[in-house]
Amino acid sequence: MISEKIILGIDPGTAIMGFGIISVKKGKMEMVSIHELILKKYPNHETKLKYIFDKTLALIDEYHPDEVALEAPFFGKNVQSMLKLGRAQGVAMAASLHRNIPITEYSPKKIKMAITGNGNASKEQVAGMLQNLLNLKEFPTKYLDASDGLAVAVCHHFNSGTIADTKSYSGWDSFLKQNPGRLK
């Protein structure tokens, strides 16, 4: 039996990317760390992707998560924004799979539902509930993208052992088997 599980939650973004790390010991959650990667300052999308990969690997190497949970891209009207967001998520997935860490995706609605009980909750409501769930006196970041990364990790803990509305990959082979259309 595992005495402690470390979960890295990631909220992909192209302006700010949020990361939250929790530890679960005997069913009790504790926030380990929260990070944001400010990407607005970088000149092009390729540079942003490099920093996403580097930051994800650095967090994995520092905290040694057992599992990674990511927020899945939502469908919007701006195709270019969706493409960039999907690339950001893909780079974080690649970094996780590069270290052979299983990953799971959750829809934004599922994450909000798991944290607040309301799939349409605001980012502020999610952050407030996380503060309560994790017994934080004050929230450790001003960026709601970072709190969203933490929410993904908590959602993953709450959904451990369930399969509804998620996709899990244990490595590249698993990813390719579940996504044959992405292989060219």
Residue from 36, 67, 71, 105 carrying the catalytic annotation: 71
Residue from 11, 36, 67, 105 carrying the catalytic annotation: 11
Enumerate the β-bridge partners of residue 30. 23
30 annotated binding-site participant = no
Q: Are 55 and 37 in contact (CB under 8 A)?
A: yes
71 annotated binding-site participant = yes
Which letter, b or e, does each residue of 11-21 get, where b requires 16 or more Cβ atoms within 10 Å of its Cβ?
A: bbbbebbbbbb
**54 counts as catalytic:** no
Distance CA 36, CA 146 (A): 5
11 annotated binding-site participant = yes
**11 counts as catalytic:** yes
Distance CA 159, CA 156 (A): 5
Residue from 36, 67, 145, 148 carrying the catalytic annotation: 145
**46 counts as catalytic:** no
Q: Are 67 and 101 in contact (CB under 8 A)?
A: yes
Residue 127's φ and ψ, nearest 5 degrees, are -60, -40
Annotated binding site for Mg(2+): 11, 71, 145
Catalytic amino acids? 11, 71, 145
